[in-house]
Amino acid sequence: MQLVFEKRKAVSRRAIVLVPILSFIVSLILTGFLLLAFKANPFRTYMAMFIGAFGSWSNFTETLVKATPLMLTGLGVTIAFKLRFWNIGAEGQLVFGGVAAAWVALFWSPFLPAWSLLPMVMLVGMMAGAVWAGIPALLKTRLNVDETLVTLMMNYIAILFAEGLYYGAWRDPEGYGFPGTKLFPEAAWLPRFSGRAHVGLFIAIGIGLLLWVAMNRTKWGFELNMIGKNKKAARCLGVNVKRNILVALLISGALSGLAGVSEVTAISHRLQQGLTMGYGYTAIIVAWLSQLNPIAGLFVAILMAGLLVGGDQVQMMMGLPAAMGLVLQGMILFPMLAGSLFTEYRIKRIDPRNSRAAESNEELSV
Amino acid sequence: MKKALTVLLVFMLAFSLFAGGQQEGAAEGTDGGDEPFKVAFVYIGIPGDLGWTYEHDRGRKYMVEQLGDAVETTYIENVPEGPDAARIMRQYAQQGYDMIFATSFGYMDPMLEVAQEFPDVYFEHCSGYKTADNMSTYFGRMYQPRYLAGLVAGNATESNVIGYVAAFPIPEVIRGINGFTLGVQEVNPDATVKVVWTNTWYDPVKEREAAVALLDSGADVIAQHQDTTEPQKAAEERGKVSIGYDSDMGQFVGDTVLTSPIWNFGPYYTRVVREAMNGEWETHQFWGGIDTDIVKLAEMSPLVPQPVRDLVDAEREKIVSGEWDVFWGPLKNRKGEVVVAKGEKMTDQEMLNMNFFVEGVEGTLDD
């Protein structure tokens, strides 16, 4: 007897809704035992996390602050993953977008009318993110260089490049030597609408909706889907695979770049430490949990942000060590990711004598 | 579909029930007696680092001991520097904390932002320079005990190379390196201080690696400006001596730690919390020297010979009495240019902006 993962022929709608909810409940139960081991009341802990993230409007605005970059990077990653292009460089693209935004905000302002500064900051920031994602796309399509490694390595380059700037050439001369650039001129600030929540949120939601339409209702989206499912078949049908990969990655990088722009122009108003909070990596989880659906991605981003914001409450309200917050986040996510696997696959026992029948199905060996 | 909805609803109902239960419990707890003055601390590391955060937490406990039931304190650990810290501070302010201490320089701008939103909450920021009506700064002249530790290190080195594991190239750290090196050169003009930057306050692995690299390149005394005891442990394992920092690291590592320039926040915390409770608190920029006891030199290890102890005592006395201080002229940078002329004193403003190395320091710096 043998166990195999068998791809489900059709994924039922009920499963799509039920599995994440059941996985979430399983997560809470499993995590509950861990909390009991630490002598913490699981219900109180979850409640503290929930209230911390969603319990009041001002708490919720903080969740939205975190959700905004997660939405943008999550959408960026989604486009790339749709093509099975493993862009794990959203973090670097975000940072590079932030650096370019700082460059425009700090050094172009004397030459531009005030009204045009913010649009220019956003445009150049998105272009920078696009360039940072375009390089691995070019390397992949021209030289067949593995994109996973290139995008990962380019994260470190972007992060160190940014550090070099705010510790060195761009350091605020009046900042008592503290690392960080001068404050941007106010014309380059992305407006906030409540607390620290800013209009980047609406931009992100708008892009999410647009992307859903583009991916599901246009020829471009159809081509992306086809390339993701089977490159060879797409090529045979006359789809320009290389060009599609390049264009998709430029968009992917531009979205992450925009996340960086909104972080520096709406939150910190300068380039400094704390730009890399790991949004670009969490974006990968957002993309997976949303099953590469842009609209689902928007909601997942808010949930993930809630988990991050609520995680602090584990310390602040419950007095548990900081590491516990991270453990909880991991333990809550793990069954959900596992659950999403079971929506698409099922475990099947097969009898070696009948293995022929199994071979005819698409398989994933364990 | 319907089933899914039912599950979801039941789930939410369960959640809201527990919410009600919890609030009730909280209300009972605060009945009876005066509300204590609530104080929150935001830490960059963990109290178990045995260094920087350990000392702040010791200060917090000391303050609680002094003020008793009148105060209630809490802390949050491992908070990253940068804009995200604002969320943490805002949440404390919203939860009714009366006073918030933030203990790393990267919390400065976020704290200012939150301080402006909550004018009724007292804010205290360690090591920064920005203040508001309800936000003050506090720090200590650590370069003074560092100079004294330099006297000990300069005497102890045989290879004439002293390794210095340093966090970030910012004025606070540079001041410490310069003060220490001036002490080293005072007793041993041939010795140099080799600096390695880690670009982190708290990273035990990196701190240890940097110390090992320095030992490999010939250093036989390891000094440091980090948050943990790892550089000291690395030196001890190689049979070399070290100078600790933050806390009396000899307690944790052993006699190979010759001495440590240390923090003593307890009395300061007690004083400002009491002032805030009595409504006497005013915006201040506290930068206390060795005379105020916020910075000290720890007990020396038995390995330090008596003549060195006598020298340290004598130099300490000069600083405490105001007869002399570490950055009084004549003072040259490592390029040989005169930075402070003979008979002149470096101002606080100049010290807070310090961005050069004195003679005897080897390391990278945009100076």
Tens of pLDDT along chain A (366 residues)? 677 777 777 767 777 777 778 888 888 888 899 889 888 899 999 999 999 899 999 889 999 999 999 999 999 999 999 999 999 999 999 999 999 999 999 999 889 999 999 999 999 999 999 999 999 999 999 999 999 999 999 999 999 999 999 988 998 888 777 788 999 999 999 999 998 999 999 999 999 999 999 999 999 999 998 999 888 899 998 899 999 999 999 999 999 999 999 999 999 999 988 888 889 999 999 998 888 999 999 999 999 999 888 888 888 888 888 788 788 878 878 887 787 777 777 777 776 665 554 444 444 443
**B199/A163 touch (CB, cutoff 8 Å), yes or no:** yes
**B4/A177 touch (CB, cutoff 8 Å), yes or no:** no
**A312/B76 touch (CB, cutoff 8 Å), yes or no:** yes
pLDDT for residue B327 is more than 80: yes
A36 part of a folded domain? no
Task: Answer whether 0.90 is exceeded by the pTM.
Answer: no
Range B317-322 average pLDDT = 95
pLDDT for residue B6 is more than 60: no
A20 part of a folded domain? no
CA distance to partner chain B, nearest, from residue A327 (Å): 14
pLDDT at A295: 95
Q: Least CB-CB distance to A176: which of B81, B109, B171?
A: B171
pLDDT for residue B184 is more than 80: yes
pLDDT at B4: 52
Range B56-78 average pLDDT = 96
A334 part of a folded domain? no
Predicted confidence band at B32 (pLDDT cuts at 50, 70, 90)? very low
pLDDT digits (tens, 9 = 90+) for B246-272: 999 999 999 999 999 999 999 999 999
Q: Give me the domain span that covers residue A64.
A: 59-290
Q: Least CB-CB distance to A168: which of B46, B90, B366?
A: B366
ipTM, interface predicted TM-score of the complex: 0.77
Q: Which domains does chain B have, with CATH numbers?
A: 37-140+265-292 (3.40.50.2300), 143-260+298-362 (3.40.50.2300)
Question: Which chain B positions have a beta carbon within 8 Å of A322's beta carbon?
Answer: 46, 76-78
As given in the structure block, the two tokens for residue A172 are 């605020």
pLDDT for residue B156 is more than 70: yes
Q: How many CB pairs under 8 A join A and B?
A: 103
**B108/A274 touch (CB, cutoff 8 Å), yes or no:** no
A42 part of a folded domain? no
pLDDT digits (tens, 9 = 90+) for B83-94: 889 999 999 999
Predicted confidence band at B17 (pLDDT cuts at 50, 70, 90)? very low
A206 part of a folded domain? yes
pLDDT for residue B20 is more than 50: no
pLDDT at A323: 82
CA distance to partner chain B, nearest, from residue A87 (Å): 26
Question: Which chain B positions have a beta carbon within 8 Å of A51's beta carbon?
Answer: 19
Q: Least CB-CB distance to B94: which of A46, A58, A312?
A: A58
Domain count, chain A: 1
A257 part of a folded domain? yes
**A47/B90 touch (CB, cutoff 8 Å), yes or no:** no
Question: Which chain A positions have a beta carbon within 8 Å of B22's beta carbon?
Answer: 44, 47
Q: Is the dihedral of CA A233, A239, A243, A244 positive or negative?
A: negative
| Structure-model confidence comparison of residues B82 and A185, the more confident one | A185
pLDDT digits (tens, 9 = 90+) for B278-312: 999 999 999 999 999 999 999 999 999 999 999 99
CA A327 to chain centre: 20
A184 part of a folded domain? yes
Closest residue of B to A20, CA-based? B4
A141 part of a folded domain? yes
**B170/A178 touch (CB, cutoff 8 Å), yes or no:** yes
pLDDT at A352: 62
Question: Which chain B positions have a beta carbon within 8 Å of A167's beta carbon?
Answer: 168-169
pLDDT for residue B243 is more than 50: yes
CA distance to partner chain A, nearest, from residue B127 (Å): 11
| Structure-model confidence comparison of residues A58 and B242, the more confident one | B242
pLDDT at B1: 42
**A176/B95 touch (CB, cutoff 8 Å), yes or no:** no
pLDDT digits (tens, 9 = 90+) for B188-226: 999 999 999 998 888 899 999 999 999 999 999 999 999
Is B248:B299 a contact under the CB 8 Å cutoff?
A: yes
Q: Least CB-CB distance to B4: which of A17, A309, A323?
A: A17
